[in-house]
Amino acid sequence: MLMGAIVRDFSDPFFATAIEATAIEAMSHGYNIVLGHAHGRVDESLALTAVLEPRHCDAIVMLGDMQDQPRMLEDLRNSGVPVVALWQGNSPIDFPTVDVDDRAGVMAGLKHLIGLGHRRIAVLTGRRSVSTSIDRVAGYCRAMLDAGLELDDDLVRYGEYNYGDYNQVDGNRMALEVLAADPRPTAIFAANNFIAFGAMRSLHEAGLRVPEDVSIVAFDDLPVAWLSDPFMTVVDQPAYEIGRRGAELLLARLDGTISGPGRDVVLPSELRIRRSSGAPAGQSVMNPGPTAEAVSLTLA
């Protein structure tokens, strides 16, 4: 009566939220959770047994993109244990998945900025090879092209994707790089809250105001986002529901409700318009994008 959870990165607070939801759903059916950490070096091939002992688990939920751990993925395929994978983006994987619609979420954020009148918009994201980065940059490109705007490679920057200090340092660095573009961007879309914090620091140090000089919209709505000044406009993803649905899929496999490879679940994100996004300096709002009916307006 154990459900294993293999976590890509313990420092990612979204994984903590999803694990809590997974554990609550599992325990309501008599299962307990055992954790395994798969955060190794990119050049380090981890065996499944080095992360989690599958013989003790009735089912396994995997959190995060594990493409750089092919040995562990192969071990999972051969284990005979039901597996569901969360936050896989466009990763080619043989297990049922639960994900957020990254592209649609980024497009909603970009449409909001474009509706405010922004035409030079930068995107700061994680490692180029990570599926989440690929999907979010694809959403950015699609929104820009749909609006008839030019794509500028100088306004697309890649960094790390782990939460915490690395993201803030990378956000700081990437923001400085895009601010050096001529003309500089009037808005930044950050792939997570901590990248946005790093970008805000760069803007403040450069004497630029948010949103008067540069607007910022970020993916995710962690509690820490409420500490931003100004209050951060975000694309919120349902981390708790992703974890709960992952456990639900596993339990359905275990009780025979679902057989075979199972199904994929894609959940929507939600744009929350706050204080960090506004019209470019000297320009009135053209079209703020999604209507109040389509977004959660938080103006505190």
State the Cα–Cα distance between residues 214 and 121, nearest whole angstrom: 9
pLDDT average, residue stretch 266-279: 96
pLDDT reading at 300 higher than 60 = no
In the prediction, which pLDDT does 298 show? Answer: 32
pLDDT reading at 216 higher than 90 = yes
pLDDT reading at 299 higher than 50 = no
| Better-predicted residue by pLDDT, 14 or 161 | 14
Cα distances (Å, whole numbers) of residue 182 to 29, 43, 52, 155, 178: 58, 37, 50, 10, 9
- Tens of pLDDT, residues 153-186: 999 999 875 544 445 677 888 999 999 999 999 9
Model confidence band, residue 151 (pLDDT cutoffs 50, 70, 90): very high
> What are the strands of the beta sheet with 121-125, ordered from one edge?
156-158, 121-125, 187-190, 215-219, 233-236, 270-273, 296-297
- pLDDT above 70 as % of the chain: 86
In the prediction, which pLDDT does 55 show? Answer: 74
Cα distances (Å, whole numbers) of residue 156 to 4, 118, 136, 137: 37, 16, 11, 8
Least confident range from 40-54, 65-79, 235-249, 285-299: namely 285-299
pLDDT average, residue stretch 194-206: 92
State the Cα–Cα distance between residues 267 and 138, nearest whole angstrom: 18
Model confidence band, residue 90 (pLDDT cutoffs 50, 70, 90): confident
Provide the 3-class DSSP secondary structure of residue 102.
helix
Contact by Cβ (8 Å): 19, 73: no
pLDDT reading at 33 higher than 60 = yes
pLDDT reading at 215 higher than 80 = yes
Model confidence band, residue 226 (pLDDT cutoffs 50, 70, 90): confident
pLDDT average, residue stretch 117-124: 97
In the prediction, which pLDDT does 68 show? Answer: 78
State the Cα–Cα distance between residues 93 and 99, nearest whole angstrom: 13
Model confidence band, residue 286 (pLDDT cutoffs 50, 70, 90): low
pLDDT reading at 294 higher than 70 = no
| Better-predicted residue by pLDDT, 177 or 297 | 177
pLDDT reading at 10 higher than 70 = yes
pLDDT reading at 15 higher than 60 = yes
- Tens of pLDDT, residues 127-149: 887 888 889 999 999 999 999 99
Residue located via tokens 């929350």: 272
Tell how strand 233-236 and strand 270-273 pair up: antiparallel
Q: Which domains does the chain have, with CATH numbers?
A: 2-100+238-267 (3.40.50.2300), 102-236+270-297 (3.40.50.2300)
- Tens of pLDDT, residues 36-48: 888 655 555 677 7
Residue located via tokens 């957020």: 100
Helices (H) and strands (E) in the chain, counts: 8, 13
- pLDDT above 90 as % of the chain: 55
Provide the 3-class DSSP secondary structure of residue 208.
coil
CA–chain centroid gap for 158, Å, is: 14
Cis omega (within 30 of 0) for bond into 183: yes
In the prediction, which pLDDT does 293 show? Answer: 32
pLDDT reading at 113 higher than 80 = yes
